């Protein structure tokens, strides 16, 4: 189910870009709040929204808004420089990390100059020279093109059917040969700007022109079939990843609550809070929720995927405890089941979008150019709890187990957890506790989470 959100520029002809003002004008209120957020922070934004009534205005009405890719900040540039250094300061260069970093610059001369300067300052080395020493052949050519040195393989965004056919031809030619030309694939996909209208049209054109392509199952299947895992991840990220997310504010924060966990990743920090109060667009006050936030570099390309499993334990009249079994509980993405064996949790993804697993795609959050904070205040399974008491139970405990993964571009970089527990002593009397924490930094999404992601959102198999 699509909830009518329109944060991306789907349906709009302009490409979301950094540094180059190719976006259509955005509502003035967005500019104002973004500017205010930078100057005075989220609280000031929220207070202003309440005072002006803009809170219930364009932002929450989900009017189609072209994505605003603001110019890269100094922190963004520093993070990219650090990411590029890590990609090269290791055994075996991570070429895709270099490409995904350089593509952020959108070939903008000013941004490139800033990156070179930041790299020199941080690592006392020349970025172009470092790249030349680490890469060769078509890899080097693409990197140098993205760095504005030379080359013309990366075209402008497609503007005609002929452009799409040309891109499809490049893709097919790059894969229909002995040894896939990965850089040609990237070169054809980068100009799409992760605009899902464009990538859908490109996929459709490819299917039509080449009868389903090499596998007969379309462009994505050809990429997955022809490229190795890291290369396919980057290519499929270019094909399927959501566009950079625009600033939005769907709740009015009240008390920020207690910080349960804090951590850092290169260029940013993570915070988990319990006891957070906030007000929804409907005006309903939400006491005692939790927030999971990221603040730092590259925030528009950073988001949270939240997994969930739930258990309900009912104490029976004879004092014994039993797990409560129930399947078919409706969710946006089908149904979920209660877990009756905590050693084998039955997980689902807590997204209200049928086609995007990121919580921010349809759940309430506040996003600025430098942060994304998701807000959640789960409701208990009231009908299940109540039925247990009517059936003779003397106590019922429900626990919702949340795992949040921070995904930056196509890399999973951090893992946090929140457990919310309700302990009922009668149908109407309960206590609720929330505890947050986190394993911390990760270098990928664990397999048992990834399998759930792929089963529910196959297009997001690119997430590493």
Partner 1 sequence: MTRVRGVLRLDDVPVAAQRVLVVPETGSPVVGATDTSTDGRFEVDVGRQSGPLMAVGRVSVDVLAVVHAQVRPDGRDTALVIRSDDLVSLSCSVVAPDVAHRQMSITIDPLHLSGVPDRFEPLLRRRDAGTVDAFFFRRGLDAPELTLRVQRGTYRFDASAFDRARPNIAAPDFENLVLSSVSTEDGHVAEPDGPFGGVRIDIDRPSSLTLELRVLPDAELLTP
CA angle 378, 383, 389 (to 5 degrees): 115
Cβ-count burial of 374 within 10 angstroms (0-12 exposed, 13-18 middle, 19+ buried)? buried
Binding to partner 1, residues 61-100 (CB under 8 A): 61-62
Q: Nearer Cβ to partner 1, position 109 or 322?
A: 322
> Which phi-psi region, left, alpha or beta, contains residue 193 (left: φ > 0; alpha: ψ -120 to 50)?
left
Cβ-contact 240, 453 below 8 angstroms: no
Neighbours of 322 (CB within 10 A): 13
Mapped onto helix, strand or coil, the DSSP state of residue 395 is strand
Q: Does 131 bind partner 1 (CB under 8 A)?
A: no
Number of residues binding to partner 1, judged by CB under 8 A: 60
Q: Does 175 bind partner 1 (CB under 8 A)?
A: no
Per-residue binder mask for partner 1 (CB under 8 A), 215-244, x = binder: ------------------------------
Parallel, antiparallel, or unpaired for β 302-315 and 395-408?
antiparallel
User: Interface with partner 1 by CB under 8 A: which range of 40-48, 215-223, 297-305, 332-340?
Assistant: 332-340
Neighbours of 371 (CB within 10 A): 21
Per-residue binder mask for partner 1 (CB under 8 A), 22-61, x = binder: --------------------------------------xx
Q: Does 395 bind partner 1 (CB under 8 A)?
A: no
One of 340, 346, 355, 435 touching partner 1 (CB under 8 A): 340
What is the dihedral angle through the alpha carbons of 83, 86, 91, 95, rounded to the nearest 10 degrees? 10
Q: Does 258 bind partner 1 (CB under 8 A)?
A: no
Say how far apart CA 83 and CA 101 lie, in whole Å.
Answer: 7
One of 138, 215, 332, 394 touching partner 1 (CB under 8 A): 332
Cα separations (Å) of 351 from 72, 249, 440, 453? 28, 17, 22, 11
Q: Which two tokens stand for residue 354?
A: 């049928």
Q: Does 376 bind partner 1 (CB under 8 A)?
A: yes
Binding to partner 1, residues 341-370 (CB under 8 A): 350, 352, 362-365
HEC per residue, 151-204: CCCCCCCCCCHHHHHHHHHHHHHHHCCCCCCHHHHHHHHHHHCCCHHHHHHHHH
Q: Nearer Cβ to partner 1, position 34 or 312?
A: 312
Least distance between partner 1 and beta carbon 194 (Å): 21
Binding to partner 1, residues 424-443 (CB under 8 A): 427-428, 430, 432
Q: Does 386 bind partner 1 (CB under 8 A)?
A: yes
One of 342, 392, 439, 440 touching partner 1 (CB under 8 A): 392
Say how far apart CA 370 and CA 372 lie, in whole Å.
Answer: 7
User: Interface with partner 1 by CB under 8 A: which range of 106-114, 195-203, 264-272, 309-317?
Assistant: 309-317
Q: Which residues bind partner 1 (CB under 8 A)?
A: 1, 3-5, 60-62, 250, 280-282, 284-288, 312, 314, 316-318, 320, 322-326, 328, 330-332, 338, 340, 350, 352, 362-365, 375-388, 390-392, 427-428, 430, 432
């Amino acid at each position: 189910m699509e909830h009518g959100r329109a944060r991306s520029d789907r349906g709009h002809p302009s490409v979301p870009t950094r540094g180059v003002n190719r976006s259509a004008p955005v509502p003035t209120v967005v500019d104002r709040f973004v500017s205010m957020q930078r100057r005075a922070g989220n609280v000031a934004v929220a207070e202003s929204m309440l005072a002006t009534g803009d809170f219930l205005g364009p932002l929450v009405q989900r009017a189609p808004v072209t994505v605003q890719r603001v110019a890269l900040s100094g922190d963004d540039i520093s993070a990219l420089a650090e990411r590029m250094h890590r990609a090269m300061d290791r055994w075996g260069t991570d070429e895709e990390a270099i490409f995904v970093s350089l593509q952020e610059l959108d070939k903008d001369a000013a941004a490139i100059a800033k990156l070179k300067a930041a790299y020199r300052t941080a690592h006392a080395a020349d970025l172009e020279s470092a790249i030349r020493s680490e890469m060769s052949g078509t890899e080097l050519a693409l990197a140098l093109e993205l760095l504005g040195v030379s080359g013309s393989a990366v075209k402008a965004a497609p503007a005609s059917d002929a452009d799409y056919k040309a891109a499809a031809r490049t893709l097919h030619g790059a894969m229909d040969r002995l040894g896939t030309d990965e850089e040609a694939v990237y070169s054809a996909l980068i100009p799409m700007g992760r605009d899902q209208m464009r990538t859908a049209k490109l996929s459709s054109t490819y299917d039509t022109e080449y009868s389903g392509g090499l596998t007969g199952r379309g462009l994505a299947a050809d990429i997955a079939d022809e490229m190795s895992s890291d290369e396919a991840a980057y290519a499929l990220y270019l094909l399927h990843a959501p566009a950079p997310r625009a600033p939005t504010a769907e709740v009015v924060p009240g008390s920020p609550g207690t910080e349960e966990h804090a951590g850092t990743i290169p260029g940013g920090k993570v915070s988990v809070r319990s006891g957070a109060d906030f007000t929804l667009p409907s005006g309903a006050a939400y006491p005692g929720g939790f927030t999971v936030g990221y603040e730092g570099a590259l925030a528009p390309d950073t988001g949270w995927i939240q997994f969930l499993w739930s258990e309900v334990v009912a104490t029976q009249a004879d004092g014994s405890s039993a797990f409560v079994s129930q399947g078919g509980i409706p969710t946006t993405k089908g149904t979920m089941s209660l877990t009756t064996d905590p050693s084998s949790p039955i997980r689902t993804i807590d997204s209200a979008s049928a086609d995007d697993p990121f919580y921010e795609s349809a759940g309430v959050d506040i996003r600025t150019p430098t942060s994304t904070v998701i807000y959640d205040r789960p409701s208990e399974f009231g009908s299940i709890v109540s039925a247990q008491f009517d059936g003779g139970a003397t106590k019922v405990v429900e626990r919702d187990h949340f795992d949040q993964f921070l995904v930056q571009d196509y890399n999973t970089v951090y893992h946090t957890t929140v457990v919310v527990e309700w302990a009922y002593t009668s149908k109407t009397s309960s206590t609720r506790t929330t505890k947050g924490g986190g394993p911390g930094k990760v270098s990928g999404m664990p397999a048992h989470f990834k399998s759930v992601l792929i089963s529910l959102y196959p297009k997001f198999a690119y997430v590493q």
